[in-house]
Amino acid sequence: MEFQIESRAGTTRVTGDMTVYAASELKTALLEQMAAGHTALDLSEVQELDTAGLQLLLMLNRDLLGGLRIVACSPGVRATLELTHLTRLIAAEAA
């Protein structure tokens, strides 16, 4: 499955997969959103997150000087973040 991006009120919602197959296009699209001030991510509709998707989240967080916030996430995304000890990226309202 491919991905879709929708932005509203400072939050970017990603739907689909964050995998190696979409990483390059997803990186470009998310960097554009971050440059526009959308620093919160809604990943509640992300079905698959692999190491390429995880690397993309870490790069975005680095570029935002630790300011990336995941305001919603699917069970699969949450499990991956817990497994990799990266739950600090999940905003309090999504925890």
What angle, 0 to 180 degrees and rounded to 10, lies between the N-to-C axes of helices 23-35 and 51-63? 20
Can you tell me the mean pLDDT for 17-38? 94
78: which residues sit within 8 A by CB, 6+ positions away? 87, 90
What tokens does 48 get? Answer: 């698959």
3 phi/psi in degrees, rounded to 5: -110, 160
Can you tell me the mean pLDDT for 46-53? 95
**pLDDT at res. 93:** 67
pLDDT in tens, 50-94: 999 999 999 999 999 999 999 999 999 999 999 999 999 998 766
pTM for this entry: 0.91
